[in-house]
Structure formats: structure tokens, C-alpha cells
């Protein structure tokens, strides 16, 4: 039997489920911790953060600064900036990572697949031909070929509104 080790997943598995919201906690921290928190960009009403448990390299999220659980609760300004940042991220990822496609989407509510219930966010997942293989189908395991810190270094500073 062959084994594939992904010890970084244990950190996620063992995370104590705390009260509160991880997005609210991250954006409230001092900017000096942005690298540690993988916050790539802070806008007026939204921020961009790498997904700590990505589907692919470059998996980012655009997140409102304000804790809001429904897209209809966003103000016009929040929606406008959110959409602008999604477009900006796609452009930067196209240039820097050269994916062949993208998955974009929001998982709203627990039944909708939201991992962070109550704080909406848009996932931007770069895709390449062949990035899904037998691993995820047969073993429920993903192979991510790049460390988050390396992706962060590639993208930080490139996102400018």
C-alpha cells in the first residue's frame, strides 16, 4: 500500500471550533500580520485572502470587511468593490499563474456548502487541464503543488485597485 503524506491537513483537522468568525478575526488583526494571515490586499470595504486549505494554487477569496451573511445585505459600495476585486484578482492570476480557466462562486449557508457560515465570500479558483485526477476522486485527497507562502510571495503587491 502506498501512502501520501499531507501533514499540514492535521492543523485543519485539529482546529478547535471557536465562537466568532475567522474572517472578522483576520481583518481585525494588525496589518503587520497580513503575511502570516495570507491577506494579500485590503480595500475600503473588502479584502483578499488566500484560502488556507486551497483546491489549487492561487485559490483566493474576496471577503467583505463587515460580517454579513447574505449578498443582499451588502451596501452598494460593498457590492461594487467586491465585484471590482473579483475582476482584478482574475486578471492578476491570469497574468501570474497562467491558468486555463477559473471557478468563481459563493457558498451561502451551511446547506450551500459554506465553510464559514454567516460571512459571505467569493472563491476564485484557478484551473488547469488535468488538475483534477484520480487522487480527489478515489482517495478524497488533493495534491497542491505549491506552498501558500510561495503563492503569497507571487501575488502580494500585484493587486492594486
d(CA 85, CA 82): 5
What Rg do the C-alpha atoms of the chain give, in angstroms?
Answer: 16
Tell me the CB-side half-sphere exposure of residue 128, using CA atoms within 13 A.
15
Q: Is 82 a catalytic residue?
A: no
Residue 142 near residue 136 (C-beta atoms within 8 A): yes
d(CA 91, CA 47): 16
59, 82, 121, 123: the active-site residue: 121
Query: 90 pairs with which residues across the strands?
Result: none
**Looking at the annotation, which residues are catalytic?**
121
Amino acid at each position: 500500500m502506498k501512502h501520501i503524506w499531507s501533514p499540514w491537513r492535521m492543523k485543519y483537522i485539529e482546529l478547535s471550533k471557536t465562537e466568532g468568525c475567522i474572517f472578522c478575526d483576520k481583518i481585525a488583526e494588525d496589518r503587520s500580520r497580513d503575511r502570516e494571515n495570507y491577506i494579500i490586499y485590503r480595500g475600503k470595504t473588502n479584502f483578499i485572502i488566500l484560502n488556507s486549505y486551497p483546491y489549487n494554487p492561487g485559490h483566493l477569496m474576496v471577503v467583505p470587511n463587515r460580517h454579513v451573511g447574505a449578498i443582499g445585505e451588502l451596501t452598494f459600495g460593498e457590492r461594487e468593490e467586491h465585484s471590482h476585486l473579483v475582476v482584478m484578482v482574475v486578471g492578476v492570476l491570469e497574468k501570474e499563474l497562467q491558468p486555463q480557466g477559473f471557478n468563481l462562486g459563493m457558498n451561502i449557508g451551511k446547506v450551500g456548502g459554506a465553510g464559514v457560515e454567516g460571512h459571505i465570500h467569493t472563491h476564485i479558483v484557478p484551473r488547469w487541464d488535468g488538475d483534477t485526477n484520480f487522487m480527489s476522486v478515489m482517495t478524497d485527497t488533493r495534491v497542491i503543488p505549491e506552498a501558500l507562502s510561495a503563492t503569497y510571495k507571487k501575488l502580494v503587491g500585484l493587486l492594486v485597485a
